[in-house]
A and B are shown apart, each in its own frame.
Chain A
């Protein structure tokens, strides 16, 4: 077999690539485009100035990583609400089952993906940190 032609073809291809526009994203300065249905950090939806969550326990039940902790409480109107709502981001696999399971549309996933932190405790997101930012 002729060994030279494939090498020349290869050289041609690499030369053609030299003049293509690089696909590199200069990350911290250039931001990536986050898709509309991207599954990033969770957020608790707010309605009438309080979280919509009714502490039904469907999300910790469906969660395959067992990263959601919910404790129910009773508010002044004798309504059930989540007194504690914590997600351990070190365990979360961002599958989005909690969003699918929620019967009252209380939880959603945002485009936030920069979740690095310095301390282990900082990865446990409390209810205050999860509340939807307006």
Chain B
């Protein structure tokens, strides 16, 4: 334990690698089984069964899909811009996963006398006895979520196909419109919290009953942020960039094999990320009853909240048809953006008088 690298104990590095591995594998598995869950849930909502053949009730379906995609023929269109075409799936996929670096998924656990905060980019300082994480964690998340759109735009442009280009253009227009409202929606949360550190925001929402959740103080912000996030990650009812009825498959029309799978994974990883952010900012993150006495309950509560929100996403997908493009723009600029601004003003006024 005495060995130190760059002024940090060996345990820090071991814990970091372990946290990264656990979180990454967990997100990957969640992504894989989110596809299965989505097919099952939407199937049952349409009074169908969903996948039933591969394994018990189709439980091996994600693995079968993965193997199939892995062995499919890799096609790079001859007229495409090859480098950008190959780069685009990576740009789409990586930001979706690295957002998890700042999301706290539990309290501080103690392993062999060393205290580990359950948040990847965080460090427990023994001298001051508190957790230090990235103090602009939310900004980092917003930056990463806007990075993902580059992958989609690049894919659309590099494919050299009109459907792909249309999909990419729609994606960029949609993401710019909705990122604004999403960003403004969570500003009102920061006005209450006074910090951008996700760890701090979660700690402020502690308590047995969950009444400290920002969902109760900022219900409008929760609604706005969730709707805008759905639009940002291109999920129904805002899945215009890949509207099958109009654009074949949108930006990923020309993609096949593993590159297509990467877009697919990015889409679901984004869904997991957005649900995790919503749970962290509004639903108290890993906070819940008895979490102060049993630290390991933290991840359980966090996962439960994330899965509930993911179920909600799928529920919405089974319910709502796709918005028309002009409706999408109308909703983004003329409804959600003013609402977010009004919410900030109201939060400011109330905050001024109550504080």
A contacts, CB < 8 Å to B: 7, 10-11, 13-15, 17-18, 20-24, 26
Contacts and interface: CB of A to CB of B under 8 A. Distances in A.
Contact of A22 (B41, B47, B315, B316): B47
Interface string B216-258: 0000000000000000000000000000000000000000000
Contact of A18 (B41, B52, B316, B320): B41
A18 to B, nearest CB: 5
Contacts of B320: 7, 10
A24 B315 CA distance: 20
B43 interface: yes
A22 B43 contact: yes
A23 B319 contact: no
Given A7-B320, A10-B320, A26-B52, A17 B315 contact: no
Q: Which 5 A-B pairs have the closest CB atoms?
A: A24-B49, A10-B319, A14-B319, A14-B45, A22-B49
Contact of B44 (A10, A11, A17): A17
Interface of B: 41, 43-49, 52, 315-316, 318-320
Contacts of B49: 22, 24, 26
A14 B43 CA distance: 11
A11 B46 contact: no
Nearest to A10: B319
A25 B49 CA distance: 9
B315 A14 contact: yes
Contact of B45 (A7, A18, A24): A18
Nearest to B321: A10
Contacts of B52: 24, 26
A22 B319 contact: no
Given A18-B41, A26-B52, A11 B47 contact: no
B173 to A, nearest CB: 22
B46 A17 contact: yes
B41 A24 contact: no
Given A17-B45, A24-B48, A26-B49, 11 more contacts: A7-B319, A14-B318, A15-B45, A15-B315, A17-B44, A17-B46, A17-B47, A18-B41, A18-B45, A23-B48, A24-B47
Nearest to A17: B45
Nearest to A23: B47
Given A18-B41, A22-B43, A11 B48 contact: no
A20 B47 contact: yes
Contacts of B48: 22-24
A108 to B, nearest CB: 35
A17 B47 CA distance: 6
Contacts of B46: 17
Contacts of A18: 41, 44-45
A77 B48 CA distance: 59
B312 to A, nearest CB: 9
A18 B42 CA distance: 8
A20 B45 CA distance: 8
Contact of A11 (B41, B43, B319): B319
Contacts of B316: 11
Contacts of A7: 319-320
Contacts of A13: 319
Contacts of B41: 18
Nearest to A8: B319
A69 to B, nearest CB: 41
Contacts of A17: 44-47
Contacts of A15: 45, 315
B246 to A, nearest CB: 22
A22 B52 CA distance: 12
A10 to B, nearest CB: 4
19 contacts: A7-B319, A10-B319, A10-B320, A11-B315, A11-B316, A13-B319, A14-B45, A14-B315, A14-B319, A15-B315, A17-B44, A17-B47, A20-B44, A22-B43, A22-B48, A23-B48, A24-B48, A24-B49, A26-B49
